[in-house]
Amino acid sequence: MGGNCACAAGNPLMPHTATITSVTEETGDVKTFQMVFDDPAVMENFRQKPGQVAQISVFGMGESTISITSSPTRKGFLEFSVKRVGRLTTVLHNLEPGCKVGVRGPYGNHFPYEIMKGRDLLFVGGGIGLAPLRSLIDFVLAEENRDDYGKVEIVYGARSLDDLCFKNGLMKRWPNIKNTSVYTTIDREDPAWQGHVGFVPAYLEEIAPGADNKYAITCGPPIMIKFVLSALEKLGFPDHRVITTLEMKMKCGIGKCGRCNIGSKFVCLDGPVFSLNQLKELPPEF
């Protein structure tokens, strides 16, 4: 954050206005909002990196931390996938194209895509946890970056067929890109689903992707992460090549309010992206 933060009038807590340009219903409780800053100069200068977040506000209602799910390689707009869980996200879900919101950011660190160059990548996501991973998946699979990375494997699961996010990427776009494999699973049987049924960590062990020359990047519900981390360890991934992103409560996003700290670390400044060896050095509260 810092240097490239797009904040209004030099006040880091003042959002810029943006207009919602499209709303995609991913599942019954997740919508993807595409939006464009009203000031073209702000749009032009908003330089996010995969894995960073922004604060999205609905005026008079408050704001929420949301991962930027669109890749920086897709220019001229930003996308955010939002799960309806409470007050602000319910109000956001009621907005339509043309409505105004506030956006400030980008905040936090990013997935270490520079050191991943030349490596194979294994993405493991669950539910809305695919949202932050999607920014990196679309970044490495973009035509201009594809040759910088090796094989890409995406293992993704959701509770049910209706809960699968980003079906277009999972079923159409990503599997058609060279050297890319997508494995999708749902927790329980559905007559309309011919694919795999079972939990993500067990499916991961079944697929048994090799760990050599590979980074694993994971995000999902805490219980899934716990078992995925243990599966990755069994598969031979060293801690420094396992990357995850935390969803601790954040408010200011700029290291001022103390809402997101774990020991001496602030998730909004030092995270939300951490390697497993960094996480193991943190106090157990995360």
Ligand X SMILES: Cc1cc2nc3c(=O)[nH]c(=O)nc-3n(C[C@H](O)[C@H](O)[C@H](O)COP(=O)(O)OP(=O)(O)OC[C@H]3O[C@@H](n4cnc5c(N)ncnc54)[C@H](O)[C@@H]3O)c2cc1C
Residue 176 or 264 having the CB closest to ligand FES: 264
Phi, psi torsion values for 167, nearest 5 degrees: -60, -35
Contact 166, 130 (CB under 8 A): yes
The site partner of 253 among ligand FES, ligand X, none (C-beta below 5 to 8 Å per kind) is ligand FES
Nearest partner of 279 among 265, 268, 269, judged by Cα: 265
Please, what is the minimum distance in Å from the beta carbon of residue 254 to ligand FES? 7
Please, what is the minimum distance in Å from the beta carbon of residue 253 to ligand X? 9
Sites of contact with ligand FES (CB under 6 A): 250-253, 255-260, 266, 268
Residue 159 or 251 having the CB closest to ligand FES: 251
Put the strands of the sheet holding 273-275 in their side by side order: 196-197, 180-186, 152-158, 120-126, 214-219, 242-245, 273-275
The site partner of 85 among ligand X, ligand FES, none (C-beta below 5 to 8 Å per kind) is ligand X
**DSSP strands (E only) in 50-99:** 53-58, 62-67, 78-83
Whether the link from the prior residue into 106 is cis, omega within 30° of 0, is yes
- Angle between helix 222-234 and 200-207 (nearest 10): 20
Please, what is the minimum distance in Å from the beta carbon of residue 247 to ligand FES? 12
The site partner of 266 among ligand FES, ligand X, none (C-beta below 5 to 8 Å per kind) is ligand FES
Residue facing ligand X at closest CB distance: 86
Please, what is the minimum distance in Å from the beta carbon of residue 209 to ligand X? 25
Residue 65 or 180 having the CB closest to ligand X: 65
Q: How far is 136 from 71, CA to CA, in rounded Å?
A: 6
Residue 81 or 180 having the CB closest to ligand X: 81
Contact 66, 41 (CB under 8 A): no
Task: Dig out the tokens for 222 from the structure.
Answer: 């805490």
Please, what is the minimum distance in Å from the beta carbon of residue 283 to ligand FES? 16
Residue 18 or 231 having the CB closest to ligand X: 18
What are the binding residues for [2Fe-2S] cluster? 252, 257, 260, 268
